[in-house]
Amino acid sequence: MLEIDNLSVAYGSVRALAGVSISLGVNEFVSIIGPNGAGKTTLLKAICNAVPWQGGDIRIDGKSIRGLAPWDIARMGIAHVPEGRRVFGQMTVEENLLVGGMTRRVNKGRLDDVYTLFPRLLALRKRRSVTMSGGEQQMLAIGRALMSKPRLLMLDEPSMGLAPLLVEQVFHHITELFKGSELSVLLIEQRVTEALEASQRSYVLEQGRVAISGDAGAMLNNADIQKAYLGMGADA
């Protein structure tokens, strides 16, 4: 459903992506891993047309999204959970969720569906979201994105700033919501083990280029990845 073909993005003289090609199928879970500054966030922003691209193409269902407004892309069923969560702090949990449902016409049962997925949000539905923990806010940010009933959910470092137990919970939720649904997931993460365990395929971005890609399970056992990202020496 998503094809990124030889994509290049620069911020002035800073080259963030240099000829990146990535694909994602219907009901596929793909992760993008890589060090700080590799271009991961830029990639997600480009898929929302939130940054201009200078070269290459991005196609959804075979059609180029070049020139489309970000809200047109959201209406195509593409939802983006940005880095740092960005929930509306002064609004309640339920108000945040209702805002998420405004981009596409969704049926009224959607709120109940999200509460079924995240019972914690139901318990907190009248709370102002600024008073919630980081993990709860992350669940709210994901719940808000799901309100539009997306076909593709893009998550930018959902583990950022969370304690290890909360990271585990957030990954558990992401894995559960992918299972048995028709959703495709594109996950950006610096937590390499968790990302490779959760996803089916993965790409390693380094300095704006795809350095390695393949089956996520095989990549977990790849010596180069273990050495570079999992803190394991060659003899580990």
Residues of this chain, 30-59, that bind ligand ATP according to CB under 6 A: 34, 36-42
- Nearest-Å Rg of the Cα atoms of the chain is 18
Characterize the bridge pairing of strands 201-206 and 29-33. parallel
Comparison of 217 and 231: residue with beta carbon closer to ligand ATP: 231
With contacts defined by CB under 6 A, how many residues of the chain interact with ligand ATP? 12
Helical packing angle, 93-100 and 110-117, nearest 10°: 120
Structure tokens at 151: 């076909």
Using CB under 6 A as the binding rule, whether residue 159 contacts ligand ATP is answered as no
Helical packing angle, 110-117 and 164-178, nearest 10°: 130
Among 6, 11, 102, 227, binds ligand ATP (CB under 6 A): 11
The CA distance from 236 to 233, in Å, is 5
Nearest distance from residue 108's CB to ligand ATP, in Å? 36
Nearest distance from residue 161's CB to ligand ATP, in Å? 12
Structure tokens at 80: 């983006």
Residue type at 215? Answer: D
Residues of this chain, 186-225, that bind ligand ATP according to CB under 6 A: 190
Comparison of 16 and 183: residue with beta carbon closer to ligand ATP: 16
Among 14, 69, 130, 218, binds ligand ATP (CB under 6 A): 14
Instruction: Choose the stretch contacting ligand ATP; rule: CB under 6 A; options: 10-18, 56-64, 123-131, 227-235.
Output: 10-18
Using CB under 6 A as the binding rule, whether residue 16 contacts ligand ATP is answered as yes
Comparison of 92 and 207: residue with beta carbon closer to ligand ATP: 207
Nearest CA among 14, 58, 53 for reference residue 186: 58
Coil/strand/helix, residue 117: helix
Rounded alpha-carbon distances, angstroms, from residue 168 to 57, 158, 163: 35, 11, 9
Q: Give the interface with ligand ATP as residue ranges (CB under 6 A).
A: 11, 14, 16, 34, 36-42, 190
